Amino acid sequence: MDAVRLVLPSSQVGRALWILVAAVATLAAVWTFQAFGFTPCELCYAERYAFYAAAPLAALTTYLASRSMHGVARALFGLLALAFLANAALAFYHVGVEEHWWPGPTACTGSLSGPVDVNDLAKLNSARIVRCDEVQLRILGLSLAGWNVVASGALAIYAALAATLKR
């Protein structure tokens, strides 16, 4: 029972703090991977937007809940749930691109098509394009996009549950 209270505190403030910590920890993790040389692709960057939005939104939710504005806090939990649900869908799309279940954005997948200018070929030496359809790192069998599906899905469920609780 104490473990449940730790993960799902009885107050909105505690639940909002959990989401804030999870968002900041996720961003810290992806920045760390990037510092170690794992360059994000276009979809990876897009998947960070939910976490960039969630951190200040969870901080605002924490503040409003601490001021007994429980109705507004519940609405913000609902907004957080929607943001994480959308991010889980985007991350699942990215997993599908990585696994070649469907095509990805042309900016980071596929091959050259059409005529090529010799001057453009010279620019390729300095350009670093990170492909969205190639997994750079797997942890316990899941790509980072796969782990994002898990994390965003869990946070969406957590925020939705927090939105239904009165206090």
How much of the chain exceeds pLDDT 70, in percent? 83
Q: Which long-range contacts (CB under 8 A, 24 or more apart) does 69-76 make?
A: 70/12, 70/166, 70/167, 73/12, 73/16, 74/12, 74/162, 74/163, 74/164, 74/165, 74/166, 75/163, 76/16
Q: Which CATH number fits domain 9-164: 1.20.1260, 1.10.3470, 1.20.1550, 1.20.120?
A: 1.20.1550
Give the pLDDT of residue 153: 98
Residue 138's φ and ψ, nearest 5 degrees, are: -120, 135
pLDDT digits (tens, 9 = 90+) for 54-75: 999 999 999 999 998 989 999 9
146 contacts: CB under 8 Å, gap ≥ 6: 91, 95
The reported pTM is 0.85
Give the pLDDT of residue 10: 75
pLDDT digits (tens, 9 = 90+) for 15-54: 999 999 999 999 999 999 999 999 999 999 999 999 999 9
> What does the alpha-carbon distance between residue 5 and residue 15 come to, in Å, rounded to a whole number?
10
41 contacts: CB under 8 Å, gap ≥ 6: 108, 130, 131, 132
pLDDT at residue 79 tops 90: yes
- Pinpoint the alpha helices (H) of 8-69: 12-35, 42-66
pLDDT digits (tens, 9 = 90+) for 102-117: 998 887 876 555 566 6
- Pinpoint the alpha helices (H) of 67-143: 70-98, 118-123
Q: Residue 61: how many CA atoms within 13 Å on its side-chain side?
A: 31
Phi/psi region, residue 117 (left: phi>0; alpha: psi -120 to 50; beta: rest), is beta
